[in-house]
């Protein structure tokens, strides 16, 4: 943001629970927001990040310095609203240009009532988060004409310290759909937009723990008519729909309090129905089998994470968004590790040894990318094809 034009945007304050304070400019809604402050290393995809339900009650710092240069459009959303608690960036370009653009990032943030701050040292903030781990924070976006005062700084620090810890929070039931619905929209293509499934080959029931739209699109693209159900749907109701496969979606928060989902997953996997889990769904599948999860000191958020497939040796660049992980040392005898992170060695994939069930920690459906790990969706449809032929 050009220094001469800062006056266009009112002041804003970012305070962390450890007392660190940053002053910048408000580029979103006026008001206050609190949440766990995390950083994401993706260069593009800010609209997809903001609307990812897995970011519920998290304030996202984008490490790439220039955010907003291609604006916002009505198609690149992963949910029907912004789920991130707030946004932190360094530079908001004064010009946004893209043939699909419908509004600027700042206009979108205001319309979505999302508090955001720009013009701070995001490199310093990221180093702090890397060394100390994710911590709670608060952003206060001031109105035009307001000035930063010590009282407002003290208020921001107090709100950051008072924010709830992510550990122990069941947020899946906060972001889930209130009722069942059908999904048939397929992936976006240049020149034609989104398509529509016309000849379904499989019926998949998807648990919505915070599902991203592109997951559903990639399932539909592969011939799956999808029935999306709320997070607390009992296993008996799902199995009564006679699905060819069951999908466990991504989502926010701590997986351990999701006892309803863990119990349902245990029943579904034991039934022998092909099951595929992503992110929170991966963690829930592991917990259902008897493994344990833990809160990570440095969570994974970005679009450049290398993951190794232990079966083939293939390395994929992946999109990641999680603050909890499955403990590799806690795996029971019926689970086998299939993928690991090459950043820190944490577990990224699992498969049941005697059931057609597997899961992955990252986001293989990544929009806008990368798409290296999308082959897992093909593995899921193949498992359903084998089960139907048996």
* Residues designated as active site: 279, 363, 365
Work out the angle at residue 74's Cα, subtended by the Cα atoms of residues 71 and 76, and round it to the nearest 5 degrees. 75
Q: In 3D, which of 236, 182, 228, 172 has the Cα closest to residue 205?
A: 228
CA distance 308 to 188: 28
**Cα 385 to chain centroid, rounded:** 29
> What φ, ψ does residue 16 adopt, rounded to 5°?
-100, 160
Strands 116-118 and 21-26: antiparallel
Q: Token pair of 162, please?
A: 């008072």
Phi, psi at residue 159, to the nearest 5°?
Answer: -70, -35
- CA dist 314 → 279, 311, 340, 373, 375 (Å): 20, 8, 11, 10, 12
Cα–Cα distance between 52 and 362 in angstroms, integer? Answer: 13
- Angle value at C-alpha 257, between 252 and 261, nearest 5 degrees: 80
**Three-state secondary structure string covering 279-344:** CHHHHHHHHHHCCCEEEEEEEEEEEEEEEEECCCCCEEEEEEEEEEEECHHHCCCCEEEEEEECCC
């Amino acid at each position: 943001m050009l220094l001469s034009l800062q006056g266009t945007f009112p002041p804003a304050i970012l305070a962390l629970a450890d007392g660190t304070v940053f002053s910048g400019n408000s580029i979103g809604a006026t008001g206050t927001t609190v949440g766990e402050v995390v950083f994401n290393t993706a260069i593009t995809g800010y609209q997809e990040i903001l609307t990812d339900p897995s970011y519920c009650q998290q304030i996202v710092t984008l490490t790439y310095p220039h955010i907003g240069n291609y604006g916002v459009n009505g198609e690149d959303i992963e949910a029907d609203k912004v789920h991130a608690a707030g946004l932190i960036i360094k530079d908001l370009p004064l010009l946004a240009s893209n043939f699909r653009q419908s509004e600027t990032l700042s206009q979108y943030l205001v319309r979505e009532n999302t508090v955001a701050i720009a013009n701070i040292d995001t490199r310093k903030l990221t180093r702090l988060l890397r060394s100390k781990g994710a911590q709670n924070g608060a952003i206060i976006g001031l109105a035009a004409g307001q000035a930063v005062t010590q009282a407002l700084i003290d208020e921001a620090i107090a709100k950051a310290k008072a924010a709830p810890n992510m550990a122990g929070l069941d947020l899946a039931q906060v972001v889930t759909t209130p009722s069942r619905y059908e999904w048939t929209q397929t992936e976006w293509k240049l020149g034609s937009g989104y398509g529509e499934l016309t000849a379904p080959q499989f019926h998949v029931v998807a648990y919505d723990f915070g599902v991203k739209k592109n997951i559903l699109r990639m399932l539909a693209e592969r011939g799956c008519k999808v029935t999306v159900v709320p997070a607390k749907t009992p296993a008996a109701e799902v199995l009564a729909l006679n699905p060819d496969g069951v999908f466990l979606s991504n989502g926010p928060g701590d997986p351990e309090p999701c006892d309803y989902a863990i119990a349902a997953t245990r029943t579904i996997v034991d039934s022998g129905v092909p099951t595929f889990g992503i992110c929170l769904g991966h963690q829930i599948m592991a917990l259902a089998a008897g493994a344990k999860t833990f809160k990570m000191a440095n969570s994974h958020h970005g679009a450049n994470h290398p993951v190794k497939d232990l079966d083939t040796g293939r390395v994929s660049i992946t999109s990641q968004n999680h603050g909890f992980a499955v403990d590799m040392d806690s795996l029971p005898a019926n689970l086998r590790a299939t993928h690991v992170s090459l950043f820190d060695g944490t577990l990224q994939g699992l498969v049941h040894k005697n059931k057609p069930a597997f899961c992955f920690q990252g986001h293989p459906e990544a929009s806008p990318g990368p798409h290296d790990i999308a082959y897992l969706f093909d593995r899921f449809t193949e498992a359903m094809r084998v089960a139907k032929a048996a």
